[in-house]
Structure formats: C-alpha cells, structure tokens
Amino acid sequence: MPIQVLMPALSPTMTEGTLAKWRKSEGERIKVGDVIAEVETDKATMEIESIDDGVLGQILVPAGTEKIAVNTPIAVILGDGEKAGDARPTSNGAVKAQPPITKPAFAPARQPATGAARVQTVREALRDVMAEEMRRDPSVFLMGEEVGQYQGAYKVSQGLLEEFGPKRVIDTPITEHGFAGLGVGAAFAGLKPIVEFMTFNFAMQAIDHIINSAAKTLYMSGGQMPVPIVFRGPNGAAARVGAQHSQCFASWYAHCPGLKVIAPYTAADAKGLLRAAIRDHNPVVFLENEILYGMSFPVPDDPEHIVPIGHAKIVRAGQHVTIAAFSLMVHKALAAAEVLAKEGIEAEVIDLRTLRPLDTETLVASVKKTNHLVTCEEGWPFAGIGSEIAALMMEQAFDWLDAPMARVAGADVPMPYAANLEKLAVPQPEHIIAAAKSVLNRR
C-alpha cells in the first residue's frame, strides 16, 4: 500500500510550516533515514527523514508552499510495483488529521501602523534591540544556554554570535544558579549582562541570586552598589509541556522590592521596553512568552524607540468594563473584547506592560470611567497579580466600583499535560467574557 507522508508536527507550538525544499525528486528511490525534504517551522528549519523504504511516487506540495497545516499529505511513497493513484486517501486511512492543539481560535490582533514602521515578530524585535544596545554599549553582553552557536533555543539570539563573537555572546553550561550569580557579580563590577534563561522555569534554580544577590544589594550597600542586569526569557505556559515547564512567575518577581518586572505583549513594546531595561541601572526581570515570539506587530523604525518602564497602555478604549492583562493574556483580552462588543459591551483593555512598578494611576483612571474591573493572568490566583490589583483598588478606587471585581487566572493546579485538561487550566477568552459579563451582571 502506498504511504502518504504527512506534514509532521516538529515542535510544541507548531501548527503549520513552510515546505522549504525537496531533497528527493519524484521517481527517486529512498531508504529509511534519508532526508526527503526541509521544513521551516516556527523555530527552525528541520529535515524530514523518511521512515519507510520505497520510491518517492508523487510530490503533493511543491517546494516554497507556506502555511501547510500539520498532518496535510505532502508526498506519496510507493512500494515495489505500486502506482501513485493507489495512495490511500487520508479520510479513511490510518492517519486522520487532528485539529491542531495550540492554534489560537482568534485572529492575531494588529495595532494600526502609525508613522514609519515595519512588521516584525516579537522574536525579531527582541533580537534587534539586543544587537542595537550591544553596538551602542560595549559593556552589554548576552549569556545563557544555547544563545550562541545554536542561535537561541527559541531562536531569539539569531545572528548575535556572528556579529559580536564569543566574548559577548556566551554559551553557558546548564548551570543556572552558577551563571546567574556570575552575571550578578559581573554587574557588581559595572558590566551590563543580559542573562537569558531558556525558560523562566529554570530560573527557579537561580532565584536565590536574582533576589538575594541582585535585588537587595543596592540597599544592603547603602546605595553604593547598583546591579545593572537583565534576566530575560520565556515565561508562562507554552503548549503541552507539563507542570515543570509551564508556569507564570509574574507575581513571584513582582513581589520583591529591588526588582523591576516587565511583561510585554507587542513587538514594539518588547523592543522599547527591553531597551529601557538594558539601559536601566537596576536588576530587571523581563518576562517573554513563547507563543508570542512568532506573532507579528508593527514596530517603529526609530532606532532609539524606547518605552519607559512603569507605564501601562490602553490598547482598546471602552466605557463599560476595564480588562487589565499582560503578555499573551492581552491577546486573549482583546479577543474577548471583540466578542463582548458584539453584545453591546465596550471593554477597555489595559496592557499593564510593567508589573513592578505597577501603573496604578492608569488602572484607577480607567475604573473611574468604567466602574467595573476584570484582571487576567496565566498564573495561579492565590497572591497573584490580580490579587494585588484587587487590594490596590480597595485602597484607591473602592467608591468607583459598582460591583466586586473579578479575577481570571490559571486554574489553581499544577499544569496538566493532557490536552483537554490543559485547556481547562489555561485562561481562555471565554473565561474573560464570562467574568466581564458577571461583573456587569449580564448573562
């Protein structure tokens, strides 16, 4: 029976890919292990190896085709004496296409472009601003696992080793506690390290140095010793990677005096805020998001584009309810706002952008206008960012709230692996919609 070769899933977040190149042509004989094609995923170019012996009977998807969904048939491999027409249709074959798991059910929000701007992914924006700051200031360097030769585990540092060399783009051993401490020591001495954590889950091994060594030293030294360092990397849930690899650390770091904590959503903010973080004289925890890396937004061409730390942004104006979110949750809040608008509810969506210091002023002003508030975060509800905002609103906006605010947060459980349970654990637009309606007493 001829065998259909399907577009493979090659990463936790891949739902579609580009067929970059065919390495075999129709009629060519192939063996198990032969590379038949190259596929570009959201992270890298991967080689597809054949898992069958036979003849490449038919190429179904020509090279250069973009956005091929996972599980789409891309070629047919024939056994001896078989013809291409014998290929088993996928509809009744053993291989049935499954709906991709991580594809957002809503279109990516784009900001209207103003002035000179170009469209970039968050990944590219982060890379560009690191390069720009490294060109500008020779004391800035990047250190972390796989940041150099491998070009970044999530390809954020692509090209930096080539431009700046191994003195300034440093591949470390897998020793977070050690290299975070080393980075803090270098910052004591006046260098400006950018320490990349492959993900913030692994920064738990380094949290002692982030807090005890970086956050407290200026204070303990009576102001003598600033610690100009950036700790950055993806934070929050990726997709199907389980309890030890999907967690939001926003409230952990935001709890600590002596740190600044940033969690951007758009590429423009990622760029402008990372620039501000690198130039800041304090330790900054910069929380990125793996799912956002591949999303595109307009980014100003201005080479000095900088976004000051500590300012929230109203990303959608509305008068009925305020929805405060950060990072990927802004995306979901905007999607929720679209749905609410169809039902006559105009939500004001605030992108917090910085979590410490929190822009309470913008929040209070919005609540004074809408009199209703919903907060959104991926992290656990207990002692979360939403809890803090609730306390602040009690103190500063109590008289303007027409109803108790609502918190949308991750389920109060370790992240499950199973697809259906993970969906229940991670806050979705539907949860935000329901929360907004409940504070407005609408059904």
Partner 1 sequence: MAASSARKPHADKSGGSKPGHAPADELIRLYRMMLLIRRFEEKAGQLYGMGRIGGFCHLYIGQEAVVVGVQAALTPKDSVITAYRDHGHMLACGMEPKGVMAELTGRSGGYSRGKGGSMHMFSREKNFYGGHGIVGASVPLGTGLAFAHQYRGDGGLCAAYMGDGAANQGQVYESFNMASLWKLPVLYVIENNRYGMGTSIERASARTDFAGRGHSFGIPGEAVDGMDLLAVRTATLSAVAAIRAGQGPRILEMMTYRYRGHSMSDPAKYRSKEEVDKVRGERDPIEGLKHRLVEQGTSDEARIKDLDGEVRALVNAAAEFAQASPEPDPAELATDILVAA
Ligand X SMILES: Cc1ncc(C[n+]2csc(CCOP(=O)(O)OP(=O)(O)O)c2C)c(N)n1
**From the list ligand X, partner 1, none, partner contacted by residue 278 (C-beta under 5 to 8 A by kind):** none
Query: Residue 290: which of 1, 6, 11 has the closest Cα?
Result: 11
Contact between 205 and ligand X per CB under 6 A: yes
Residue 13 or 322: which CB sits closer to partner 1?
13
Q: Could you give the 3-state DSSP secondary structure of residue 291?
A: helix
Pairing of strands 54-59, 29-30: antiparallel
Taking CB under 6 A as the criterion, the residue among 42, 133, 145, 388 binding ligand X is 145
10 belongs to the binding site for ligand X (CB under 6 A): no
Kindly tell me which of 59 and 70 has the beta carbon lying closer to partner 1. 70
Biggest CA pair distance of the chain: 83
Burial degree of 384 (CB within 10 A; 0-12, 13-18, 19+): buried
Q: How far is the CB of 271 from partner 1 (least distance, A)?
A: 26
| Per-residue contact string for residues 382-421; x = within reach of partner 1 by CB under 8 A | -----------------------------xxxx-xxxxxx
430 binds, among ligand X, partner 1, none (CB under 5 to 8 A by kind): none
Per-residue string for binding with partner 1, 75-114, x by CB under 8 A? --------------------x--x-xx-------------
**238 touching partner 1, by CB under 8 A:** yes
- Minimum Å gap between C-beta 173 and ligand X is 9
Under the binding rule (CB under 8 A), the answer on residue 174 touching partner 1 is yes
CA dihedral 180, 183, 188, 189 (to 10 degrees): 160
Binding mask 315-354 for ligand X (x = CB under 6 A): ----------------------------------------
Cα(379)–Cα(240) distance, integer angstroms: 16
In the window 108-167, what residues touch partner 1 (CB under 8 A)? 145-146, 149-150, 153
Cβ contacts of residue 329 below 8 Å, gap of 6+?
376, 377, 378, 427
- Residue 31 contacts partner 1 per CB under 8 A: no
> Which span (45-53, 103-111, 118-126, 265-273) binds partner 1, by CB under 8 A?
45-53
Does 37 bind ligand X (CB under 6 A)? Our answer is no
313 lies in the binding site for partner 1 (CB under 8 A): no
Query: Edge-to-edge, what's the strand order for the sheet holding 313-316?
Result: 313-316, 347-351, 321-325, 373-376, 406-408
Q: How many CA atoms lie within 13 A of 62 on its CB side?
A: 1
Dihedral sign, CA of 267, 273, 276, 282?
A: negative
Q: Site size for partner 1, by CB under 8 A? A: 56
Min dist CB 80 to ligand X, Å, is: 39
| Least distance (Å) between residue 395 CB and partner 1 | 32
Is residue 176 among the annotated active site residues? yes
Calpha distance 352→253 (Å, rounded): 15
378 binds ligand X, rule: CB under 6 A: no
Nearest to 437 by CA among 361, 342, 352: 342
CB 33 within 8 A of CB 73: no
Q: Select from 123, 167, 163 the least CA-distant residue to 141.
A: 167
| Residue 71 within binding range of partner 1, rule CB under 8 A | yes
CB 230, min distance to partner 1, A: 22
Q: Which of 42, 132, 176, 377 binds ligand X (CB under 6 A)?
A: 176
Considering the complex, state which of residue 176 and residue 351 has its C-beta at the smaller distance from ligand X. Answer: 176
From the candidates 245, 320, 331, 372, give the one annotated as an active-site residue.
245
User: Is 202 near ligand X (CB under 6 A)?
Assistant: yes
Strand partners, 284: 230, 260
In the complex, the smallest distance separating the C-beta of residue 142 from ligand X, rounded to whole angstroms, is: 16
Q: Whose Cβ is closer to ligand X: residue 48's or residue 180's?
A: 180
**Which residue among 131, 191, 241, 341 contacts partner 1 (CB under 8 A)?**
241
CA dihedral angle for residue 402, residue 408, residue 412, residue 414, rounded to 10 degrees? -170
174 contacts ligand X (rule: CB under 6 A): yes
Q: How far is CA 345 from CA 298, 313, 322, 379, in A?
A: 28, 20, 11, 26
d(CA 412, CA 229): 32
- Which has the closest alpha carbon to 78: 16, 44, 27, 15? 27
Per the CB < 8 A criterion, the answer to whether 54 and 70 are in contact is: no
The H-or-E segment that residue 3 falls in is strand 3-6
* Catalytic site positions: 176, 245
Residues making contact with partner 1 (CB under 8 A): 6, 8-12, 14, 35, 41, 43-47, 51, 70-71, 95, 98, 100-101, 145-146, 149-150, 153, 171, 173-175, 177-178, 201-202, 204-205, 238-245, 411-414, 416-421, 424-425
Residues making contact with ligand X (CB under 6 A): 145, 174, 176, 198, 202, 205
